[in-house]
Amino acid sequence: MCSAGRPVHPDQRDDAASVVPALLGWGLLELLERFAPRRATVVWEALTALVFVGSLPFNGVGLTTSDLLLLALMHLIVAAAVIPAFVITSPRRF
């Protein structure tokens, strides 16, 4: 339930589950650019690759093969959009 007493629609939770990790990743990139400007994008790309691989559905308890493939494809699509967008807009300092 939300604070107004109305139930939260399941799609709203899905949206938050997509947006919040991306915002946390953006915040991490900003911190890296502030405290380690020369290596920020390299470190961030390595961390995002690890998070992407870690988020893939390796154990499909209760999921069919098609569900696992669809979930992996959705993670791939989000990673393919978010990672390059953040790297391209990051000021590279060499």
Q: What is the pLDDT of residue 65?
A: 86
Q: Reduce the DSSP state of residue 60 to 3 states and report it.
A: coil
Contacts of 18 by beta carbon, 8 Å cutoff, 6+ apart: 78
Q: What is the pLDDT of residue 28?
A: 93
Q: Check whether 8 has a pLDDT greater than 60.
A: no
Q: Check whether 1 has a pLDDT greater than 60.
A: no
Q: Using one digit for the tens of pLDDT, what is the confidence trace for 29-86?
A: 999 999 988 899 899 999 999 988 888 877 777 888 888 888 889 888 988 988 899 8
Q: Contact, 2 vs 8, CB < 8 A?
A: yes
Q: What is the pLDDT of residue 31?
A: 94
Residue 77 backbone phi and psi in degrees, to 5: -65, -45
CB 40: neighbour CB atoms within 10 A? Answer: 22
